Amino acid sequence: MTDAIMSSVTAPPSAPLGRRGPLGSVLVHAGLIAASIAMLYPLLWMISASVRPEDEIFASTSLWPSSIDVASYLRGWFGLDVSFGRFFWNSLVVAVLTVIGNVVACSLAAYAFARLRFAGRNFWFAIMLGTLMIPYHVTLIPQYVLFLNLGWVNTFLPLVVPKFLASDAFFIFLMVQFFRGIPRELDEAAMMDGCGPWRIYWKIMVPLSLPVLATAAIFSFIWTWDDFFGPLIYLNDMNTYTIQLGLRTFVDSSSTSDWGGLFAMSTLSLVPVFFFFLFFQRLLIEGIATTGMKR
Amino acid sequence: MAAVQDSAVVVGGGVQARPAAQGRWASIWAKHGAGYMFLLPWLIGFFGLTLGPAIASLYLSFTSFDLIRAPEWVGTANYVRIATADPKFAAAMQVTFLYVVLSVPFKLSFALLVAILLDRGVRGLTVYRAIFYLPSLLGGSVAIAVLWRQLFAGDGLINSLLAQFGIEGPSWISHPNYAIWTLVVLSVWQFGSPMIIFLAGLRQIPTDMYEAASLDGASKFRQFYKITLPLLTPVIFFNAVVQTIDAFKAFTPAFIISGGTGGPINSTLFYTLYLYQEAFGNFRMGYASALAWILVLIIALFTAFSFLTSRYWVHYDD
């Protein structure tokens, strides 16, 4: 089923109802192009607003600035007591650590579920799937109390340490699905040659599952980069703010005065996600099509 | 002789027994140990960060707790107050249900419509798919919520566009009747990921079914209602459940657009936003825990209801 969907996603499009006539085809393209423009217009307008002279931002609905002015970027970058460079750096640190934690911890658990035989495996697998359904709000407050007592508030630890304990169980599920597709003969041959589970994991599973590990890494990065709730709760000192918190503070402090700076920083905050979209679109789309992720 | 033999057997048995016991533990370890070693990080996380905290929050929901003093047992008082004497809870429920009921059907209909248009061998499929997917990827960020706040402000882009047609729009985000709609539009704007799932589902429908139907003279509309829609119901069901649960948990856009208040007049007070205010604004941790458990209950009831009713409309071919 999964493989079938995977291959159908990448296969050339079929034409189940036959080709449309030329008129139908033109109408469909006209509709799709109009929808595309409507979808992208707000984004493009924001980018264009970020390079407009300040007095022109609200005067124009066009996408083409009369002149390019990067003053908004400079104003925005230094618009708060702590510069946006700091916020970007903090976000990068949290995101990179999260990626490492998710990839390592989830692939270890996924290998156990997909390949190793041990008592209680199906039980734990069912439990793991069950945790996917639980809204995080249920564990939120005791976790906060725990991290508060550990003195971890205003550090990145509450955001990062759970990932090293495979708290994003979704990625375990994603990896189990992939590991099950790797031919068992490879493990068996390695076992015959005297390889233990660790060597099989490291020498066979990891190298053969780079696509799924990359998918998990990219989604981890994007979700962490965009995460607002976790940082909002755990980070109160502006020096520890991530980019999302920085933007929120900027909105509150300057909502009526400096839209140019705000749009400039908003645009910059989208750049890393856009970069991943541009270069790894296929992995992202396959990831969604095969597992039904919500974003 | 027999005795000697017996004792030899016993001794032999004893000698063998010890390595056998060790061997059993060793073999149990060899058989099951590796699995648990690989699972260890997840197991620690499950007990320490999921199961333990879940039990603790169930306990806290029956207490009054402000983080400073120890939790004080109050019985069912939190739940009683939620059910009978909390107008903000009622408002949050109303807003959240309205948001779910408006955003999910619009978003899924749009996703399905576009997926069907794209499925029929449209040229440039990958380009369109990419453009439609981009908002799903960016939509959860604060930057987009900030943009939305500007778009629907009194002097925002939407009203500038409307003004060109001579229409004077209100300040959408600060009007209690319209504010929720700006959030619904933001949700529908992110129709890309359910669209991709629909596309994958559409590819699963065998083309010969359409060919046979065509030969029998079935119109395109009839083919849609008799073939496409029934065969797609499992995917529709899946998307509906996932998107609904997600909508119940929405937080960031309402927080940014209302400046954290849920205003105007609680019209964007999403359930999670109210929970956040109670926990981290008023430090009523016990009360917020009770709110969290009610959210779980709502999501669980909804999911159970969906699966029960799915028998009657979801088509599974085995």
- Its ipTM equals 0.86
Contact list, B157 vs chain A (CB under 8 Å): 42, 45, 61
Q: Which of A60-74, A186-200, A275-289 has the lowest mean pLDDT?
A: A60-74
Contact A32 B118 (CB under 8 A): yes
Those residues with Cβ within 8 angstroms of residue B28's Cβ, 6 or more apart along the chain or in another chain: none
Those residues with Cβ within 8 angstroms of residue B284's Cβ, 6 or more apart along the chain or in another chain: B64, B65, B66, B278
What's the pLDDT score for residue A8?
A: 43
Cα distance between residue B249 and residue B148, in whole Å: 19
With H, G, I as helix, E, B as strand and everything else as coil, classify residue A293: coil
**Overall average pLDDT of the A166-177 stretch:** 91
User: Which chain B residue's Cα is nearest to A1?
Assistant: B204
Residue numbers of A between 3 and 62 with CB closer than 8 Å to B:
4-5, 8-9, 11, 13-20, 28-29, 31-32, 35-36, 39-40, 42-43, 45-46, 58, 61
On the question of pLDDT at A174 being above 60, the answer is yes
List the one residue out of A135, A57, A199 whose CA is nearest residue B96.
Answer: A135
The distance between the two most distant Cα atoms of chain A, rounded to a whole number of Å, is: 74
What's the pLDDT score for residue A69?
A: 81
Name which residue leads in pLDDT, A9 or A239: A239
Cα distance between residue B248 and residue B88, in whole Å: 16
> pLDDT for A271-286, tens place per residue?
999 998 888 888 888 8
Cα distance between residue A150 and residue A164, in whole Å: 17
Positions of chain B with pLDDT lower than 50, given as ranges: 1-17
Model confidence at A153, in pLDDT bands (50, 70, 90)?
Answer: very high
Alpha-carbon distances, residue A134 vs A139, B61, B63 (angstroms): 9, 17, 22
What does the DSSP 8-state code read for residue B64?
E
Name which residue leads in pLDDT, B26 or A196: A196
Model confidence at A16, in pLDDT bands (50, 70, 90)?
Answer: very low
Residues forming beta bridges with residue B73, ordered by sequence position:
B63
Model confidence at A75, in pLDDT bands (50, 70, 90)?
Answer: confident
Half-sphere exposure of B156 (CA within 13 A, CB side): 20
Name which residue leads in pLDDT, B223 or A65: B223
The pTM of the full predicted model, rounded to 2 decimals, is: 0.87
Q: What sign does the CA torsion over B140, B141, B145, B150 have?
A: negative
Say which of A11, A164, A228 has its CB closest to residue B142: A228
Contact list, B248 vs chain A (CB under 8 Å): 135
Residue A126's Cβ-count burial label (10 Å; 0-12, 13-18, 19+) is exposed
Residue numbers of A between 67 and 106 with CB closer than 8 Å to B:
105-106
The distance between the two most distant Cα atoms of chain B, rounded to a whole number of Å, is: 118
Is any Cβ of chain B less than 8 angstroms from the Cβ of A114? no
User: How many residues can be counted in chain B?
Assistant: 318
What's the pLDDT score for residue B11?
A: 40
Does residue A260 contact residue A191 with C-beta atoms inside 8 Å? no
> pLDDT for A128-137, tens place per residue?
998 988 888 9
> pLDDT for B243-263, tens place per residue?
999 999 999 989 998 888 887
Does residue B187 contact residue B136 with C-beta atoms inside 8 Å? no
Contact B285 A116 (CB under 8 A): no
On the question of pLDDT at A292 being above 70, the answer is no
Does residue B98 contact residue A245 with C-beta atoms inside 8 Å? no
3-state helix, strand, coil in chain A (%, to 5): 75, 0, 25
Q: What are phi and psi of B73, to 5 degrees?
A: -65, 125
Residue B97's Cβ-count burial label (10 Å; 0-12, 13-18, 19+) is middle
Report the C-alpha dihedral over residues A61, A62, A67, A73, rounded to 10 degrees: 60
What's the pLDDT score for residue A135?
A: 87
What's the pLDDT score for residue B317?
A: 65
Q: Hey, what amino acid is at B227? A: I
With H, G, I as helix, E, B as strand and everything else as coil, classify residue A254: helix
What's the pLDDT score for residue B46?
A: 96
Does residue B295 contact residue A135 with C-beta atoms inside 8 Å? yes
What's the pLDDT score for residue B311?
A: 85
Q: Which of A9-18, A146-155, A213-222 has the lowest mean pLDDT?
A: A9-18
User: Which chain A residue's Cα is nearest to B288?
Assistant: A141
Does residue B194 contact residue B181 with C-beta atoms inside 8 Å? no
- What residue spans of chain B are helical by DSSP H? 2-28, 34-45, 52-60, 77-84, 87-119, 125-138, 142-151, 157-164, 179-189, 192-203, 207-215, 220-223, 229-248, 252-257, 271-276, 285-313
Those residues with Cβ within 8 angstroms of residue A4's Cβ, 6 or more apart along the chain or in another chain: B204
Contact list, B132 vs chain A (CB under 8 Å): 35-36, 39
Helix axes A157-164, A84-115, angle to 10 degrees: 20
Helix axes A137-149, B285-313, angle to 10 degrees: 150
Cα distance between residue B268 and residue B284, in whole Å: 21
**Overall average pLDDT of the A71-80 stretch:** 87
What's the pLDDT score for residue B15?
A: 44
Closest CA of chain A from B9, distance in Å: 34
